[in-house]
Structure 1
Amino acid sequence: MSINKSKSVFDVDGKPPISKATPLAIQHVLAMIVGNITPAIIVAGVVGLSSSDRTLLVQCAMFTAGIATLIQLYPLWKIGARLPVVMGVSFAYVPTLISLGKSYGIAGIFGAQLIGGIVAILVGIFIKPLRKYFPPIVAGTVVLTIGLSLYPVATKYIGGGAGASDFGSYLNIGIAVITLAVVLFCNQFTKGYFKLASILVGIVAGYIVALIAGIVDFSPVAEAGWFALPKPMHFGMEFYPSAIISMVIIYIVNSVQAVGDLSSTTVGGLGREVKDEELSGGIIGNGLTSVVTSFFGGLPTATFSQNVGIVVMTKVVSRFVIAIAAGFILLAGFIPKFGALMTTIPQSVLGGATITVFAMITMTGIKLIIQDELSNRNVTIVGLAIALGMGITQVPEILSQFPQWVTTVFGTSAVVISSIVAFVLNIVLPKKTLADEEKERNEIENLENKVIGA
């Protein structure tokens, strides 16, 4: 049976009928929407934004994701991967955004993001020689640390949000547990859309319970308009060296992480290895998006692994399908009432849903780590990087005798420390395989036997 490639959903350049493409596109929107808006809600809470500014930040998250996705689908010159990937505001940046937000506010975040985006562009240009410095053992250690460092965020949300008057109440924890239970049920016991959109279904269930309990405030929705354009420089932009250093490190790490998602897309969806120009264009496109959207209130973006998973599982690689999804995402970015509605989700509901996301990030890190053999060398890299990253950030006063910028860069984000330690150790430590280590032990044993025999 011949397939008209020009209309096939299994062809990158295929343009299937709208009736066929739209449901597939909505599937991608459902998979990414919660992960895209939640970082904005978290950051808004940390920096203490007003209700209207919280709505705007969520609105900008959707606008940014739509633009970033379209750039990847339909490149301009060498900017974009030309691959069926969905972009969105990434949880990988959240630990750093939280620490910078507490110290420098929202303007400090966007100033650091501007420089970080420029560095990402440079990484994209030179990605081919840089890839060897970020093997799975290094990338996996960073991803694992990101997951671990996000657990306190989810736990505070489960309790109702840090500083909430009813923090840890039976109601908050109960709503979070119900949300989590629905997510787990849909993910493990259902199929199709319910399985793919398990987090969204869980949030809807938790939201309904919260409505019944009377803890949802709709005043932000009533105050928001129906249509609005993003406001340039509304949040301002300030530059702090320590904030810039932290953000640059995370941008470098996440730029290299994009290699994994883009590779998964081509291998799993297209049946081939990713090309250097696709990697370069994808990272450059993401860096440029970050630079541009930092002026409009859009937080840092990255490839969304859950959407990569959908592409790999369904083999639907049509860029046209993803473009329709990007259109829906972009449209939401121009509708303030949508953003306002998202901010009415109680924090306990978000906590019950995001704890599973953070758990998956952690397990993704472990999967990356075990792609390399667990030799003594590799175990040392992973163990020491995580120990120093998590340890120092849990006891930040250990850096109290150092200049303030040292505390800001290294005492507030475990990801920064773990990234640096894993990167340096991977270069410095001699590369020994399990076979090499066994050979060494045998040589030592033989030497001891000779000494005893003598």
Structure 2
Amino acid sequence: MSTETKKLDNALFDLNGKPSYKQAFPLALQHVVAMIVGCVTPAIIIGGMAMDSGEITAADMTILVQSALLIAGIATLMQLASWKHRIGSGLPVIMGVSFAYLASLQGITEQFDLATLFGATLVGGVVAVLVGIFIKRLLFLFPPLVTGTVVFVIGVTLYPTAVKYMAGGAGSENYGSWQNWVVALITLAVVTVLNHCTKGITKLASILIGMVVGYIVAIFFGLVDFSAVAQANWIQFTEPVHFGLKFEASSIITMAILYTINSVQAIGDFTATTDGGMDRVPTEQELSGGIIGNGLASMIGAVIGGLPTATFSQNVGIVTTTKVVAKRVFYMASGMIIIAGLIPKFASALTTIPSCVLGGATISVFASITMTGIKLIAKSELTARNTAIVGLGVALGVGVTLVPETLAAFPQWVTLIFGKSAVVLATIITVVLNQILPKDVEETAV
């Protein structure tokens, strides 16, 4: 191996290294492949709800998907090009639209409209900035026991969404048909086999490959409609505030709580990135700047029609596996994501993915989220106190949202905050119980 080649190879493992573009491109593409489906799926789900209610058109749906990609690329760029780590972490991370907000976004869209959703997202971004500024003082509220319970509830509450999509999407003409289930199960089978029986790019891109296979099968079943793609433009810039902005108190409170939770979750991803890729822990400035950067990105997203962003754990996994941390790779990835977001034809093609394919692919993602929560919970000793905190948080959080009519006698805002999002209620309960239940009494593990 020549000295020049060694230099380039080593540059891939240096944060400020400058590997050749030939080396960096496939690694950047790998990150894009790993995140793109997860990034656009929440936008497709929320857009589908808005279309079913008659609020938006197919063209608006394309804009939602475009904006999801745009804000993901912008948020990633902001993290990389940090200003003295005060805005942006300066770490090699990929940002994207997060599933963690999905259940609450569905509740807001169902009860109000997209304008209210984006108004709450804008204010939520402000809250994230404040959390970033004061993060050191807030960490005591969110030990692994609490964050693990919250992450577990996020995963569990997303299961109905995945199953409904596997059946074809609630309200569709062929909902529950055998064709939908066949496509969904084939997609799930491919994802599962590739994820557990292969290595390298096929393992990392298992969800994408599974969706491609499911998509092809769906075409043979006549489940794919390409008419929207033909009508879409090649290049289009998103119109600011296209969906409007409305500010409603209960929606804002819900999003503020979720942004706080996900800011704390981001610390885990930043830590995993530096530990796995650079053998160190992140500095307080990097953590603070990363959360502030994400808050500002989400505020921009609310203006251009992008849903809330977060660090993408699958991309963190790539970093810890490959040890490639050179910013040049991630700058290239962010550029690819932004370019994809400027091409309506591409965004429109993504909206043609049938619901059954999305359901078959995402149920494994939701299962992974749930198991991540369990792993976090298991970091704490399962004493009577800790199991009570977890059990009550899950029981009340999930239980109330399964029967929201039990809150019918209360004002509407109570139903939205506590009856639509199990995550919000579970967070409040676990945080409060963890602070008030005595910790100085010796307990027997159960």
Coordinate RMSD, CA, aligned: 1.5
Give the whole-Å Cα distance in 1 for the aligned partners of 2:412 and 2:156: 25
Aligned pair partner of 1:315 in 315, 320, 323: 323
Select which of 41, 54, 60 maps to 2:44: 41
Shift, 1:185, TM fit: 1.2
Q: Does 1:179 align with 2:187?
A: yes
Distance apart, 1:4 and its partner CA: 3.4
Residues 374 and 211 (structure 1), Cα distance of their counterparts in 2 relative to 1, 3 Å cut = same
Alpha-carbon separation, structure 1, partners of 2:444 and 2:67: 55
Pick the aligned partner of 1:11 from 7, 14, 27.
14
Specify the alignment match of 1:195 in structure 2: 203
Offset of residue 7 of structure 1? 6.0
Distance 2:322 2:125 in 1: 32
Measure how far apart 1:378 and its partner are.
1.0
Q: Which amino acid aligns with 2:69?
A: M
Q: Distance in 1 between matches of 2:415 and 2:126?
A: 24
Which residue pairs with 2:239 in the alignment?
Answer: 231
Q: 1:56 aligns to what?
A: 63
1:212-251 map, 5 Å: 212-251=220-259
- Alignment match, 2:31: 28
Unaligned runs of 5+ in 1: 442-454
Deviation at 1:76, TM superposition (A): 2.8
In structure 2, distance between residues paired with 1:130 and 1:325: 32
Quote the residue 1:211 is aligned against: 219
Contact 2:8-2:19 within 8 A present in 1 as well = no
Question: SS where residue 294 of structure 1 aligns?
Answer: helix
Aligned-partner Cα distance in 2 for 1:16–1:134: 39
How far did residue 224 of structure 1 move?
0.3
Percent identity over the alignment? 57
Structure 1's 220 and 362: CA in aligned 2 closer, same or farther, altered over 3 A?
same
1:432/1:360 CA distance change after superposition, 3 Å: farther
What amino acid does structure 1 have at the position aligned with 2:28?
Answer: A
Which residue in the other structure is 2:408 paired with?
Answer: 400
Alignment partner, residue 437 of structure 1: 443
**What residue is the counterpart of 1:374 in the other structure?**
382
Paired residue for 2:314?
Answer: 306
Instruction: State the shift of 1:199 in Å.
Output: 0.2
8 A Cα contact 2:79 2:293, kept in partner: yes
1:4 and 1:263 map into 2 onto residues whose CA distance is 27
- Residues 396-405 or 302-311, more deviating: 396-405
SS at match of 1:88: strand
Q: What are the Cα deviations for residues 293-314 of structure 1, in whole angstroms up to 9, with x where unaligned?
A: 2111011000000000000011
Q: Determine if contact 1:112/1:239 at 8 Å carries over to the other structure.
A: yes
Q: Deviations over 1:355-390 (max 9, x none)?
A: 000000000101111111111111111100000011
What residue number does 2:104 align with?
96
Q: Which has the larger radius of gyration?
A: 1
1:161 corresponding residue in structure 2: 169
Q: Aligned AA for 2:274?
A: T
1:70 equivalent to 2:72? Answer: no
Shift of 1:432: 4.6
Q: CA deviation at 1:241?
A: 0.4
1:365 aligns with 2:368: no
TM-score by length of 1: 0.94
Structure 1: how far apart are the matches of 2:394 and 2:10? 48
Query: Where does structure 2 lack aligned partners over 5 or more consecutive residues?
Result: none
Q: Is the 8 A contact 2:383 2:444 kept in 1?
A: no
1:131 to 132, 139, 143: 139
How many residue pairs match? The answer is 438
The answer to whether 1:274 aligns with 2:282 is: yes
Match for 2:374: what amino acid? I
Distance 1:123 1:336 in 2: 35
- Matched residue, 2:297: 289
Q: Give, as a single letter, the amino acid of the residue that structure 1 aligns with 2:411.
A: P
User: What SS does the corresponding residue of 1:295 show, helix, strand or coil?
Assistant: helix
Q: SS in structure 2 opposite 1:4?
A: helix
Asked whether the equivalents of residues 6 and 15 of structure 1 are also in contact (C-alpha less than 8 Å), the reply is no
Letter of the structure 2 residue corresponding to residue 106 of structure 1 = L
User: Could you say which residue in structure 2 is the equivalent of 1:409?
Assistant: 417
- 1-structure distance, mates of 2:150, 2:203: 28
Deviation at 1:288, TM superposition (A): 0.4
CA contact (8 A) 1:43 1:101 kept: yes
**Cα distance between partner residues in 1 of 2:125 and 2:347:** 25
SS in 2 for 1:44: helix
**Displacement after TM superposition at 1:6 (Å):** 9.6
Instruction: Tell me which residue corresponds to 1:452.
Output: none
Local SS of the residue matching 1:160: coil
Specify the alignment match of 1:149 in structure 2.
Answer: 157
Q: Is the 8 A contact 1:36 1:89 kept in 2?
A: yes
CA contact (8 A) 2:166 2:359 kept: yes
Q: For 1:23 and 1:338, how far apart are their aligned partners in 2?
A: 20
TM superposition shift of 1:236: 0.3
| Contact 2:234 2:345 survives alignment (8 Å) | yes
